A and B are shown apart, each in its own frame.
Chain A
Amino acid sequence: MTPAEPDDRSLIATIAKTGDPRAFHLLYQRHSGVLFAMAARLLDDRSDAEDAVHDTWLRAMQASGRFHGAAMVRTWLVGILINRVRELRRARPLECLDAMPDLAEPGAVTPDRALEAIDVSRALAEMPERYREVVVLHDIQGFTHDEVAAALGIAPGTSRSQLVRGREWLRRALHVPLETTDE
């Protein structure tokens, strides 16, 4: 964002007041990268991710007049996206959320071998939703625990504990030896 460009809250207010598409364009440019990346990681499907981001913007802009500014716009948008992602996932066939997958052959990921992207992608795809959301937001998208908590509607402490469990789940799924106890 250049100094001359309005901040996110101003853009939201402009959209609510005038429906100016240029304000939407600026917001879209700032946040759609994160939203789409998150949706793609959480849904494992680009088409579904596209639908999720589309619906997120539609819901957010329709609610722009009710945005109070207490939260960051990015966190607000992510919260809406998460809700939509959950709806889309619920519409899918049931998954065994707590099953611990055997994604990699035993020994496939050795200390000498970095985790391959495909292994991580597969592991994330199989990860229970409650862990995956926190891991994707925190470890991949770089959100703080406060931001994760705001987006998911949970306490920061819950975000921390879910992250620890999510990482533990990933380690097991990827056969990464556990060298230490978390937090």
Chain B
Amino acid sequence: MNDDKPESLDRLAQGFARLPNVDVPPGLEGRILHSLLNAGVLRRTPHRVWPRLVGLGVALVLFGAGLGIGAQFARPRRIATTTREPQYLLLLYSGAGPQVEDVAAHRHWASDLAAHGHAIYGERLDAFATRIEHGVSTTAAPADTLLAGFFIVSAPSANVAETIAASSPHARHGGRVVMYRIRPT
């Protein structure tokens, strides 16, 4: 605002200064990174995410929209990933303990992984769920709807995957995370 004139400009400048800050969405970097990896523009490289995690790999897997996950979830749809490492499903439970409410923290956590060249995919689940049993669909009982979110990651070993799971904001705040190794099909 330095090449225009006095008072009215000052007031325009004040107006601009009062505009709210625009923060970058925390999940945007991971989304871009995924696209760049898929396009072959970037290549994953081994690196250190945490001091004892060397060569950690996280692959992105997409689920079909509306995929229901319960205690016994229907088979997830696997898609091509950028790694051949084993994949792990991390189920984040709510209930009496901490809730998976801090979406920003989880995005940041995932973004940190992605920022180092790894991809990760996860979603928060709606509280409403449908239970399908013996061919009959009913509204799931509250006990069936404790699952609040999930992530799918790949890791070179179960130990590494456990470390990843333990590092999630949900786990760090005392929430329950259940990990399954996805069996190759």
In the complex, are the beta carbons of B35 and A54 less than 8 A apart?
Answer: yes
Separation of A18 and B35 alpha carbons in the complex (Å): 17
**Known A18-B43, A50-B28, A120-B16; contact A36-B4, beta-carbon cutoff 8 A:** no
Q: Which of A25, A62, A121, A181 contacts B19 (CB 8 A)?
A: A121
**Known A20-B42, A32-B28; contact A120-B4, beta-carbon cutoff 8 A:** no
Q: Which of A15-52 contact B (CB under 8 A)?
A: 15, 18-22, 24-25, 28, 32-33, 36-37, 40-41, 46, 49-50
Residues of chain A within 8 A (CB-CB) of B33 are 21, 24
Q: In the complex, which range does the number of interface residues on chain B fall in?
A: 35 or more
Q: Which of A24, A37, A116 contacts B15 (CB 8 A)?
A: A116
B141 to chain A, nearest CB (A): 35
Separation of A160 and B42 alpha carbons in the complex (Å): 39
A-contact bits for B1-18, CB 8 A (1 contact / 0 none): 101111111011111101
Q: Which of A60-119 contact B (CB under 8 A)?
A: 61-62, 64, 111, 114-117, 119
In the complex, are the beta carbons of A21 and B5 less than 8 A apart?
Answer: no
Separation of A58 and B39 alpha carbons in the complex (Å): 9
Query: Secondary structure at chain A's binding surface: helix, strand, loop or mixed?
Result: helix
A27 to chain B, nearest CB (A): 11
Residue count of chain A within 8 Å CB distance of chain B: 51
Q: Is A171 an interface residue (CB 8 A)?
A: yes
A182 to chain B, nearest CB (A): 5
Q: Which of B1-60 contact A (CB under 8 A)?
A: 1, 3-9, 11-16, 18-25, 28-29, 31-33, 35-37, 39-45, 47
Count contacts between A and B, CB distance < 8 Å.
134
Residues of chain A within 8 A (CB-CB) of B12 are 115, 139, 167, 170-171, 174, 176
Separation of A170 and B13 alpha carbons in the complex (Å): 11
Separation of A140 and B22 alpha carbons in the complex (Å): 12
In the complex, are the beta carbons of A22 and B116 less than 8 A apart?
Answer: yes
Q: A36-B22, A50-B28, A179-B8 are in contact. List 19 more A-B contacts (CB 8 A).
A: A15-B42, A21-B37, A21-B43, A22-B47, A22-B115, A49-B22, A53-B32, A64-B41, A114-B15, A114-B18, A120-B16, A120-B18, A139-B16, A145-B3, A163-B4, A179-B7, A180-B6, A180-B8, A182-B4
List 20 A-B residue pairs with CB atoms under 8 Å apart, sorted by A's residue number: A20-B117, A21-B44, A21-B116, A22-B115, A24-B42, A36-B22, A54-B28, A57-B32, A61-B36, A62-B41, A64-B41, A111-B11, A117-B18, A139-B16, A163-B3, A170-B12, A174-B12, A178-B8, A179-B6, A179-B8
**Interface positions of A (Cβ within 8 A of B):** 15, 18-22, 24-25, 28, 32-33, 36-37, 40-41, 46, 49-50, 53-54, 57-58, 61-62, 64, 111, 114-117, 119-121, 139-140, 145, 160, 163-164, 167, 170-171, 174, 176-183
**Interface positions of B (Cβ within 8 A of A):** 1, 3-9, 11-16, 18-25, 28-29, 31-33, 35-37, 39-45, 47, 115-117
